[in-house]
């Protein structure tokens, strides 16, 4: 997967596979990594570690997903 120069959103990014993906995407040169998780503190910790940003999101709620997409587009429009 080529992420160099791209904005990447990782759901479930506070721990486990999501955390590993967020770290890897940052290491691979992503323009920005948004770490999204129900665990807001965990997401913030991973984001701080990789120089990304975080959002507390419940992906079981469509409104939360739409807010995540809208905010990411607004904040990282090219």
- Residue 77 and residue 75: Cα distance in Å, rounded? 6
pTM over 0.75: yes
Q: Which helix (H) or strand (E) holds 56?
A: strand 53-56
Q: Which helix (H) or strand (E) holds 23?
A: helix 16-27
pLDDT at 65 (0 to 100): 96
pLDDT digits (tens, 9 = 90+) for 15-54: 999 999 999 999 999 999 999 999 999 999 999 999 999 9
Reported as a pLDDT band with limits 50, 70 and 90, residue 78 is low
* DSSP β-ladder status, 32-37 and 7-11: parallel
Return the CATH number of 7-75, one of 3.40.50.1820, 3.40.50.720, 3.40.50.300, 3.30.565.10: 3.40.50.720
DSSP 39: -
The values of phi and psi at residue 27, to 5°, are -65, -30
DSSP 12: T
């Amino acid at each position: 997967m080529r992420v160099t120069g791209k904005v990447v959103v990782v759901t479930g990014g506070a721990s486990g596979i999501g955390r590993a993906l967020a770290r890897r995407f940052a290491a691979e040169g992503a323009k920005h990594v948004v770490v999204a998780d129900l665990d807001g503190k965990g997401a913030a910790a991973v984001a701080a570690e990789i120089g990304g940003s975080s959002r507390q999101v419940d992906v079981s709620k469509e409104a939360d997903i739409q807010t995540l997409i809208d905010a990411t587009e607004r904040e990282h429009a090219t």
